[in-house]
Amino acid sequence: MLRRAARLAGWAARAGVSVGRRVPGVESVTDGVRFVERQVFSTLRKRLDEVDDPYVVALSAASSGESAGAGPLVVTAEPLRAAMKELLDRSVTFDRERAREYLYATVLRRLTPDEARILSTLAAGDAYPALDVVGRGERILLHNASTVGKAAGVTLPEEVPSYLTRLAALGLVDVTAAEPALSSQYEVLATDELVRAAAASVKRPKLVRHTVRLSVFGARFWAVCDPGVEVTNPTSSRQTPGGA
């Protein structure tokens, strides 16, 4: 519980949440952790909600200008132009820190919980085997099957190929050539239920080996978003009246 409180304190510092040394009504460590947890996640949700989709902003502005008796909004090119203008305006006003925060928050909002678990596992630095099952005419029957889902303890192991494809599209993971050091793990992966089912659907299937690891962008993204990192609050060293 104390370790959890320390981690939450780190999150609070990163999110800009100010939590006093004493909170009225908080009598125990558990109550204190829950209070900080509510404050942290409330602030994080607010920060993510501020990353508005510029197209949604443009549509909202367009719909608010309609008369009460008007029919449903007809989507034209105008909201698209307004959305692009919104992005261009932000590109002028954002500094590097704000632009980076916007980028990472936009990526974060597209992740599923299982994908977050996979990123957390890959962030440890290990590479994992991946396989494509290829049929006649080089048709890919199964793409990016991998043992990383099992290692991460995902809720939907059958969706790991889709998860990895999405993460690669976001630039968070790299799917590269096979590594000889993982040869035994490729053999284990070949017995996976998804791989076997795909291979059984055609004659003479080919298993193409790949390697999955966190990308350079993924490493930068995780370094900023890692909830386990404790960040020192610059105000924590200040003495409070009557404090130690």
Domain ranges of the chain: 2-49, 113-225
Q: Domain 113-225's class?
A: alpha beta
Identity at 16, one-letter amino acid code: G
142's tokens: 């199964």
Cα 146 to its chain centre, rounded Å, is 19
Residue 236 has what pLDDT? 44
192's tokens: 């996976």
Give the tens place of pLDDT for each residue, 122-145. Answer: 999 999 999 999 999 999 999 999
Rounded average pLDDT over 184-205: 96
* 3-state SS assignment for residue 19: coil
20 has a pLDDT exceeding 50 = no
Pairing of strands 206-214, 173-177: antiparallel
**Close Cβ partners of 148 (under 8 Å, ≥ 6 residues apart):** 118, 121, 122, 128, 130, 160, 164, 212
pTM tops 0.75: no
244's tokens: 């130690």
Greater model confidence, 75 or 105: 105
130's tokens: 């991946």
Indicate the pLDDT class of residue 36, thresholds 50, 70 and 90.
Answer: low
Give the tens place of pLDDT for each residue, 41-55. Answer: 555 555 565 566 776
Q: Of 132, 130, 128, 129, nearest to 198 (Cα)?
A: 132
34 has a pLDDT exceeding 90 = no
Quick one: what percent of the chain has pLDDT higher than 90? 55
Mean pLDDT of the chain: 79
| Region of poorest pLDDT, from 30-39, 146-155, 213-222 | 30-39
Show the DSSP H helices in the chain as ranges.
2-15, 29-49, 54-64, 77-93, 96-108, 113-122, 148-152, 160-169, 183-189, 193-200, 216-225
21's tokens: 């040394």
Residue 77 has what pLDDT? 66
Greater model confidence, 70 or 101: 101
- Beta bridge partners of residue 128, listed in sequence order: 212
Rounded average pLDDT over 88-114: 92
